[in-house]
Structure 1
Amino acid sequence: MNKNFKIYAIIFIIIMVIMALFEVNKKEVTDWRKNFDVNEKSPFGLFVFNEEAKYLFKNNLKKTDQSPYNYYNQYKKGLHNILVVESDMDEESWNTILDQVSKGSDAMVITTYIPKKISDSIGFFSSQMSFGEQNVLKLTDKKYQNDFIKLDKFPSGKGFTFIKPEVEILGKAIENDSATHVNFIKAKIGKGNMYVHSEPLFLTNYYLLRNGNVKYTQDVFSYLNDRETVWFVESNTKVSQFFMRFILSKPALKYAWWVFLGGLVLFVFFNAKRKQRIVPVIEPLKNTSVDFVKSIGNLYLQEGDFHDMMAKKAQYFLNKVRIDLLIDTRSLDEEFANKLHLKTGKTIEMINEAVSLIKKGQDPYAAVMKEDLTRMNQLLDEILK
């Protein structure tokens, strides 16, 4: 066992011992946030209500995470019930609910906030009525007098004022000093009814699991007719699609995952620090011009087109003559041959033979052999030396 491995092992063991001590001494922290999430088992989640709702509504409950505006644009419904629990909806959706109620449906809205424009159209004003730490929720109907819920954890204290005469009061919140404020009302809108409750806490896990509180919840929903109920659930209650969601949802697996990542980072850090990075071998740039010429030459030889090769060689030769020797190459006559003879110093016989082969290469109907190409190539290279 080498020295480095021992160091890594000791560091890892120390980290594990420290984390184990923290885990043993850690106190469970209760999440008291009012999330009203149907998947949350925290005190103020709606997990219990979500599980029991199908029995409360006699298996005639439909949940949707669409907004009311989008839902009713997509589906045409008959008379039904509408349920909204502490949902942050846009004004168009509220107006859509009012439109459905006016056609004969009933809506149960349990929320601490409704836009003022909507509450004015229903016939009430919602405001903070109390800052007390405790209050009791009761219904005004005499047959429900023995059913109530005592709120002893963070009640909202919201209530209704400036209630129109035609709005019926169904429930109140009573504080320790006997002060009361209205928190449950019924308003007739067109052919249907709108029920509004300003304290959604009574639906949360913390209160539904306490003895005797379920009866109050049943009483509240007894005002709805026995028919299909559409529950508009917040879209943020969808199950996460993150591939690590299961591991991160379990405290033990989550700690194990972070310890693994921490150990991996330490290993990479110390291991990389002690090793020199390999210097890459950079090959020098190659001159591929010769290879290219050879490839082109081999291509022509494979094709066996000696006539075309002679024509290109002649074209290249005459271009060099024009540029380097400044001789006109439009007419390959005796005058051209003499000028080329004088400027290159080559014999007139060599010049005449080269001119003859050039003309043969330029003639598309001339019969050309491999020997002609070879001879012309030798002559033209010799003349341009």
Structure 2
Amino acid sequence: MFSGKKHYWWFQLIGWGGLFLIHLFFAWFYGKFDTPEDRALFFMRAVSFVIIGVILTHFMRLFIIRLHLLKHNWGIQLLNFILLSIITASICGIIEQQVYKQFELFTQREIEVLKRRGIWLVSFNNMISWFIYIFIWNAIYIIYHYAREYQQQQIDTLQLKSLVRELELKTIKSNINPHFIFNALNSIRALVDENPGRAREAITELSNILRSSITMHKTESVSLKNELDIIEDYLALEQVRFEDRLTVRYDIDSRTLEQQIPPMMLQTLVENAIKHGISRELQGGLVSIAARLKNNFIELCVRNTGTFTGEKEDSGFGLSSIRDRLKLLYPGRSGFQIHQLTPGTVEAKIELPV
């Protein structure tokens, strides 16, 4: 529970040592050190008090850890710790009484009180004092545990943001594919003489893609509409290269256009469809992009003509980066799969919480 056994024992030493000093102060203040016998009796009782407290609270801590009492909700935790404090205080009180009896640590006045009131009534009063100490110990233990847990959550959050940022930067860099740029430039060069107007459009499209790749690291999410704008520019350039071999189809639910998604994630799926699907088909094929809302999730789906090659394609950086980003951004709340939908069609699907 604590950051280490060394820290735990330091807390035990400081806590019970502080109680020892408080008892020492009041014993001196009320004049209980008049004789050597008084001083010896005080120190023997105080030492036994500290030893009992340290041992019993240590076993209580082991009990808390073993039964995972800090994993329950606040109501159950409070009830558990009150019951545990009562049980531990009762055991401490009984042990202390037996120690006092065994080593004759009762004062003459206490012996008279025991005879007059009975040992059980005195033991009950003693247990109440122990209950206060044990309950305070438990309260400090719970507060420290949650403070450490909150601190660790803050550290984990910062590390998560750092990992997400690093992963997104790697993804962005991977999307600035030099082969794509060279192919696009070659296509534009061929258009310069044949179709100057289309060549100018292609230069604008390439400029948009490069600009988005460079500036995308400044934001943690983008609207689906913005992502689709970049994808349209990318596919327009690829259609210059593939010509009639590439057909593009969109099926976008208008309600999804303003939904926020991780930048360049959908584009990665489209690039994967071109690289591992269309480019390997002699007759080319179809790339279909769909987005819809389904059960409080936004479902992004990219289908392409081709054959899913299995582990080799699935382990590529593009797809693995999608899995890593989803795991970091939406732990346990997102989904991603890629599979052979039909003998001639591959489907990649991402599900993100709305």
TM-score range, shorter chain: under 0.3
TM-score, normalisation: structure 2? 0.21
Rg larger for = 1
Structure number with greater CO (CA < 8 Å, separation at least 6) is 1
TM-score, normalisation: structure 1? 0.20
Q: Which structure carries more helix by proportion?
A: 2
